[in-house]
Structure 1
Amino acid sequence: EKGCSLGACAPLAFSVTFGDRTTFSYDRRCCQGKQCNKENVPLTPKSSNPNGIECPACYNETNLSCNPVHLQCTGAETKCIEVVGTVTINRIPYFALFGMGCATESACNLELSIVNGTNVRSYCVGPKSGSPPLMS
């Protein structure tokens, strides 16, 4: 989705992988000038290399819960995340989605409006016990 910012713009990029391997990538870039956002933004390819982190993961568009499975995180997705999405219609918020999985650190603790007026809140938690620490 492209558009014009009502206020200050800050770049933001993140990715999340949910339990059924549903992946969500987001990349907000800022520019100034007439039709400066005309070009499409290429998303950074995700790595498929395991990083040693394991998170509970699931995805549901009908309930505010789901049955998590263990998901091996890959690449830069080193945080375990929970995401709740709502859509507001006539000033009434409706549940839209719930998910758990692996995410980049930049996806943690966000409140933002994304595609088609869906409002998303995210919360990051530590990996499940038993996951090895990330080594550099």
Structure 2
Amino acid sequence: MDIPSSRPAVGTISTGRPDTVQYREAVRTELPRAQRVTQPPSNAAGTSVDDRRPGDFAARDERILADRRARVERIADTIRESLQRRIEKDDAAGLLVYRTVDKETGEVVRQFPEEMVLKLRAYAREMARKEESEAADTQRVERVA
């Protein structure tokens, strides 16, 4: 069974690449020396692997980046100043509620635990109270009888 392989079989001699056949319709692809593209000479002393642009461009990019960071910090400070953090106790649920509120509008931006969790907890507490009161009522009836 023949298995195709990229390696030559043991004991065979590799002759290398076969010569290319020239066709009559082929187009010449070599350019004259004046039109050839060559690699620019490299500075052995000043060779750098740094991908950043040299000189003024790198400094300008650093200034732009620093300006953007400062602008983002100013925006973040403005947002922090317009928000207020509150810790309140929800009596129905029996939990502490952490809220972040917009000072201007009074709108709750973030809350932990969420409103749904508070409602479920309040419902569960109320159901537990009803069961306790019903159990206490049945015990009173038994004692009277």
TM-score using structure 1 length: 0.19
Higher RCO (Cα < 8 Å, 6 or more apart): 1
| Greater fraction of residues in strand | 1
Task: Select the structure of larger CA radius of gyration.
Answer: 2
